[in-house]
């Protein structure tokens, strides 16, 4: 049985994916959410907004 991104994921699900190569599917709700996040990120990147780790690089402390 596939693990579905967009639904509740348990520790057992994560273990099954990592150890047993369980199939992972992304449902429509999760896909819409990811696309919305991508649009927001793209708008920010194309503006003068500085986003740590995206357009400023990462620094070790």
For residue range 2-53, what is the model confidence (pLDDT) as tens digits? Answer: 999 988 999 999 999 999 999 999 999 999 999 998 998 888 888 888 887 7
1 pLDDT above the threshold of 90: no
**Number of domains comprising the chain:** 1
Domain extent, residue 31, equals: 3-45
Asked whether residue 58 is assigned to any structural domain, the reply reads no
Asked whether residue 51 is assigned to any structural domain, the reply reads no
Q: 5-32 b/e with 16+ CB inside 10 Å = b?
A: beeeeeeebeebeeeeeeeeeeeeeeee
Asked whether residue 57 is assigned to any structural domain, the reply reads no
Please tell me the pTM assigned to this model: 0.63
């Amino acid at each position: 049985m596939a693990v579905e991104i967009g639904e509740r994921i348990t520790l057992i699900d994560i273990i099954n994916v990592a150890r047993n190569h369980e199939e992972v599917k992304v449902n429509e709700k999760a896909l819409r959410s990811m696309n919305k996040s991508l649009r927001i990120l793209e708008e920010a990147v194309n503006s003068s907004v500085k986003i740590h780790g995206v357009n400023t690089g990462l620094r070790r402390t």
